[in-house]
Structure 1
Amino acid sequence: MGSVGDCFDDALMESSRGRMQTELLNRRRWNTRLEPANAIFEYLEIFHNRQRRHGSLGTLTPIEYEMLQPKTQPA
């Protein structure tokens, strides 16, 4: 650990966790432990994976990007 690009570097995870903390968890108070667990699931499965714009996709959502790709026939 400690060198740039090291396979044990967890910068990506820290960045993702920090973004989720800011966008989701710090915006309200939670009454039970189940509420933030459900909110994290919804954030990851519905917002982040389907609706959030990704820079690596040309600032398109994954659904928009897939719609632009040509359909290929299975071999």
Structure 2
Amino acid sequence: MESFFSTLKIERAHRKRYKTRDEVRADVFDYIERFYNPKRRHSTLNGISPVEFEKRYAGLTVCP
């Protein structure tokens, strides 16, 4: 979790000035949904993105 916040600060927050908290919330949401989850690869997921992991997981069948 700490690496996420570090990455967020470096890639997003330090580059911008925000006027309101709502503007910050919208920008952080945009960062997570458009870049971090779909594209960023994670070592805990064997080098795939969370979106790719979910696609693969959804394709599995559960045996009773």
Tell whether the structures are fold-level matches, with TM greater than 0.5: yes
1:5 matched to which residue of 2?
A: none
TM-score (norm: length of structure 2): 0.63
Structure 2 stretches lacking a partner, 5+ long: none
Matches within 5 A, 1:35-54: 35-44=23-32, 46=33, 47-54=35-42
- Higher RCO (Cα < 8 Å, 6 or more apart): 2
Once the 2 structures are TM-superposed, how far is the Cα of residue 68 of structure 1 from its aligned partner? 4.1
- Work out the number of aligned pairs and report it: 62
Structure 1 stretches lacking a partner, 5+ long: 1-11
Bigger-Rg structure (1/2): 1
RMSD: 2.4
User: Among the aligned pairs, what percent are the same residue?
Assistant: 31
* Bigger fraction of residues in helix: 2
TM-score (norm: length of structure 1): 0.57
